[in-house]
Amino acid sequence: MKICTLCPRMCAVDRKSGERGICGQTTEIKVARAALHFWEEPCISGEMGSGAVFFSGCVLHCVFCQNENIANGTAGKVISTERLGEIFLELQEKGANNINLVTPGQFVPQIIKAVELARNQNLKIPIVYNTSSYENVDTIRSLEGIVDIYLPDFKYFDTALSAKYSHAPDYPAVAKAAIAEMVRQTGAAVFENGEDSLMKRGTIVRHLILPGCTKDSKAVLKYLHETYENQIYISIMHQFTPLSNVKKYPEGSRKQAYKDQKRSYQVFAKVSGQSYEEFIGALGQTDEDIQSSADDQVKARMTAKTIAIKEGLTLSDADYERFLLAFLEPEEEEDKTLKAMEKRYLEEQSCYPRDDMLIELVKEYLGKNSKMK
């Protein structure tokens, strides 16, 4: 790869000789993690899990990235093309529903060879291409016959947002073209046994809702529906997690936390027949105090999520439901569905229950595993 033009950055560096472009990688395959993954869409993970292979490096470097150490290339191990093919087969042996290539764009030529090697040794499960959609159409075109399922993001419709948060003002146009090629290859979705079963072929477009960017999200969804109608599936995500760069881009999480907390005080003020200012004044607080409290909430959530990711701590749905029931102690006649309990918790605490429970989980973990000097 004398001159690398795999992605829209068109760095034109000699990666084979050790030069690195925006993705931060040479032509040596670097993998950060390969394991069964249970947190993709149900038709991808199923009960047995998706055989996820997380590749090191990234061409976007979004400021809200949840896997920054993988994206910047600090995490990962260099392996050969042959070893990558073996990993695919090992994941199949473990019962994986598919091979899930996560952020693979910088290694497409090597991945094609690895898939071909593995298929010659009886790899039969579908190949999933899990991407930001910041891809050259020619690169995606080279994957025809290799990839069965595309799992692309459509992050932004507004070029100003893509420039600010992913350093890519051309992202919307690039993503539109890349997704169009993906859909051309897969056609309409094919499932094992109806929509509630595993997907065997198709395209699922993901969109992460960013705080304060609802208008852009609506534009993304409108475009996808009008362009593809029933040809694709859409997965809407809400797990915005600003880990390391929140101080540079505070408008999302801090603004939302402040709005949530202020709304809660406004509700209590209304019940007590007071204005918002009168109510917080009676508590000896100012609006600046509310903002400071919201900032502390964001910092606590960020810290807890960072520790949870690094230590592999997970929050099960059963534990989450028990947490809500124990905290809220709903009466017999009250609605005990998760949605209703989450709404009540948010109204009463002005905090998101999953965030609070994760903080408690991390506190418990630190209490058991920390050594004080």
- Between 113 and 276, where is the model more confident? 113
Same domain, 160 and 268: no
Same domain, 203 and 280: no
Angular region, 49: left φ>0, alpha ψ -120 to 50, beta rest:
left
Whether residue 372 is predicted with pLDDT greater than 60 in this model: the reply is no
Same domain, 100 and 200: yes
Report the percentage of the chain scoring pLDDT > 70. Answer: 89
| Distance between CA atoms of residues 4 and 73, nearest Å | 18
Average pLDDT, the chain: 86
Mean pLDDT of 80-87: 98
Specify the pLDDT at position 294.
Answer: 75
Mean pLDDT of 213-223: 91
Whether residue 319 is predicted with pLDDT greater than 70 in this model: the reply is yes
Same domain, 142 and 273: no
Same domain, 166 and 271: no
Asked if residue 4 is part of any domain, the answer here is no
- Decide which of 204, 237, 270 is a domain's last residue: 237
CATH classification at residue 82: 3.20.20.70
Question: Which residues touch 178 (CB under 8 Å, ≥6 apart)?
Answer: 131, 133, 134, 135, 136, 137, 140, 152
Question: Which residues touch 107 (CB under 8 Å, ≥6 apart)?
Answer: 25, 29, 55
Same domain, 66 and 170: yes
Asked if residue 62 is part of any domain, the answer here is yes
| Distance between CA atoms of residues 90 and 226, nearest Å | 41
Same domain, 51 and 167: yes
Q: Which residue has the tokens 């965030």?
A: 355
Whether residue 306 is predicted with pLDDT greater than 70 in this model: the reply is yes
Confidence of residue 365 (pLDDT cuts 50, 70, 90): confident
Asked if residue 159 is part of any domain, the answer here is yes
Confidence of residue 373 (pLDDT cuts 50, 70, 90): low
Which tens digits make up the pLDDT trace of 138-190?
999 999 999 999 999 999 999 999 998 888 999 999 999 999 999 999 999 99
Q: Which residue has the tokens 């390969």?
A: 34
Mean pLDDT of 90-114: 97
Same domain, 86 and 191: yes
The model's pTM:
0.69
Mean pLDDT of 90-112: 97
Same domain, 95 and 215: yes
Domains in the chain: how many in total? 2
Same domain, 305 and 340: yes
Asked if residue 244 is part of any domain, the answer here is no
Confidence of residue 113 (pLDDT cuts 50, 70, 90): very high
Confidence of residue 348 (pLDDT cuts 50, 70, 90): low
- The boundaries of the domain holding residue 145 are 15-237
Same domain, 206 and 296: no
